Amino acid sequence: MLKLLSNIVACLVIALGVVHLSFSLFGRITENAVWFIGAGLAVIFGGFLNLIWLRNIGTDHITFWLCLLANLFLTLLFIFAAVVIASPPPFVGLFLLAFEIVAMVVLRNSKSLRSEKI
């Protein structure tokens, strides 16, 4: 069940990145817009990494550590954005990534869930 929820949350992270990216495509392309696009792509690729890790639970340790590192960096990005922007979207990203980090640790340490296929 946790693996299924984690898959859903990973897809929501990707969707959040797509929404973020879509806001940067309207209007003039400025230096700030390019940074905004880069942040949206980072969130999308973070979601992709979570999906890759979920398909390889217990088989590839480097994927776990890279995904965990990406989730931690994105969590720090959302914390920074929440402090600077003070609006709801960064808190959504923060919640989703915090869930993914906790789910990763629980799933990695749960031998019975490693063999589950989705």
Question: Cβ(118)–Cβ(89) under 8 Å?
Answer: no
Mean pLDDT of the chain, nearest integer: 88
Q: How far is CA 47 from CA 30, 31, 67, 113, in A?
A: 26, 25, 9, 20
pLDDT at 18 over 80: yes
- Residue 75: pLDDT band by 50, 70, 90 thresholds? very high
pLDDT at 48 over 80: yes
pLDDT at 118 over 70: no
Share of the chain above pLDDT 90, in %: 60
pLDDT at 71 over 60: yes
